[in-house]
């Protein structure tokens, strides 16, 4: 077995490549690593390092390895392309090179009890949704727990997703956002991109800077309150963006179980509270939510 290629060298393959290169799309310029570092890796700030790699399997896997080796909080790893990106429930996440933001961040929230770490993916979701809405001019919502959604022609479609993992005592948070994908490039018809949603800004560098700054501000508030979702105002910020609340839902639970009813609240642990047809309330901590369309009358 040969050793894997370095992520920084793996962009264009050998002379056997046939067809247009995925790296020559002029509408998709590369990210400037040095410029991003100058703007984001600042003394006293959250971000302590920032690397942009041409291609890798998974930024989460790579950063998790760094966490186990003792890497400090604030490391950011961005990939121009991922070959083995993962979403929630081990779903594959694929997109053309330079067509989106594919990144992971390493966090060590030592001021926060471990039982509140579950709020981190929600925090990332709030930061991403608010940043994209403000900077790109597209209204972005959050399907519980943290799928980024936009509406195109009256239909909700997925713009991006978040995956959080524990590694080496740290939390590694991965984020994938479709920025410039065209219709023919979408992995599934229910996906979307900022470009297809009519965004006024699709410059990935602008979006990345704004996103990491927004996240750093929210993270500072959250850690300063020991992760309290009320005191940090994270819970109300999430509720304002959550597209699931007030909807009829079908929740696919672990063990091939299913729960149906109305999503009525998000509790203090970040769980979705569903009121079933018999009036009972069930709090769901993990599951795949489907928004059920009202029946036509």
For CATH 3.30.930.10, list the domain ranges present in the chain.
Answer: 26-241
pTM of structure: 0.88
What is the Cα–Cα distance from 90 to 97, expressed in whole angstroms? 21
Name 101's bridge partners: 177
Residue 8 in this model has a pLDDT that exceeds 50 = no
Residue 235 pLDDT > 70: yes
What CATH number does domain 26-241 carry, 3.20.20.80, 3.30.930.10, 3.40.190.10, 3.40.605.10? Answer: 3.30.930.10
Q: Tell me the per-residue pLDDT of 49-81, one tens digit each, with 9 for 90 and over.
A: 999 999 999 999 999 999 999 999 999 999 999
- Residue pair 251/258 in contact (Cβ under 8 Å)? The answer is yes
Please give the C-alpha separations between residue 279 and each of 245, 251, 263, 273, 276, in angstroms, as whole numbers.
16, 16, 12, 12, 5
Q: How far is 235 from 134, CA to CA, in rounded Å?
A: 20
Residue 291 CB: number of other CB atoms within 10 A? 15
pLDDT grade, residue 24 (50/70/90)? low
- CATH 3.30.830.10 for domain 248-291, yes or no, is no
Say if residue 297's pLDDT is above 60: no
Cα gap 11→7, rounded to integer Å: 8
Residues 6+ apart with CB under 8 A from 222: 109, 112, 119, 123, 232, 234
The dihedral region occupied by 233, where left means phi > 0, alpha psi between -120 and 50, and beta the remainder, is left
Contact 61, 87 (CB under 8 A): no
Instruction: Determine which of 17-21, 58-62, 205-209, 279-283 has the lowest per-residue pLDDT on average.
Output: 17-21
Alpha-carbon distance 150 to 236, whole Å? 20
Alpha carbon distance 189, 62 (integer Å): 30
pLDDT at 242: 98
Measured between alpha carbons, how far is 105 from 98 in angstroms, rounded to an integer? 19
């Amino acid at each position: 077995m040969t050793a894997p290629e370095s992520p920084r060298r793996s962009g264009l393959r050998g002379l056997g490549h046939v067809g247009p290169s995925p790296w020559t799309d002029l509408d998709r310029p590369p990210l400037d690593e040095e410029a991003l570092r100058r703007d984001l890796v600042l003394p006293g700030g959250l971000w302590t390092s920032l690397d942009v790699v041409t291609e890798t399997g998974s930024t989460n896997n790579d950063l998790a390895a760094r966490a186990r080796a003792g890497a400090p909080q604030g490391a950011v790893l961005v990939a121009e392309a991922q070959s083995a990106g993962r979403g929630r429930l081990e779903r594959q996440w694929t997109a053309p090179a330079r067509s989106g933001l594919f990144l992971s961040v390493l966090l060590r929230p030592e001021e926060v009890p471990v039982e509140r770490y579950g709020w981190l993916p929600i925090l990332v979701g709030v930061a991403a949704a608010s940043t994209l809405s403000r900077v790109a001019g597209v209204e972005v919502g959050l399907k519980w727990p943290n799928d980024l959604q936009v509406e195109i022609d009256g239909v909700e479609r997925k713009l991006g997703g978040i995956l959080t993992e524990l590694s080496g005592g740290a939390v590694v948070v991965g984020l994938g956002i479709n920025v410039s994908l065209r219709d023919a490039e979408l992995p599934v018809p229910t996906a979307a991109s900022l470009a297809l949603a009519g965004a006024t800004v699709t410059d990935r560098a602008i979006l990345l800077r704004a996103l990491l700054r927004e996240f750093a501000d929210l993270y500072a508030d959250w850690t300063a309150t020991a992760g309290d979702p009320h005191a940090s105002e994270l819970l109300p910020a999430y509720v304002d963006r959550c597209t699931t609340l007030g909807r009829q839902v079908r929740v696919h639970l672990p063990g091939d179980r299913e729960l149906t009813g109305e999503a009525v609240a998000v509790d203090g642990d970040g769980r979705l509270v569903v009121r079933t047809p018999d009036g009972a309330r069930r709090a769901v901590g993990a599951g795949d939510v489907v928004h059920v369309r009202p029946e036509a009358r």
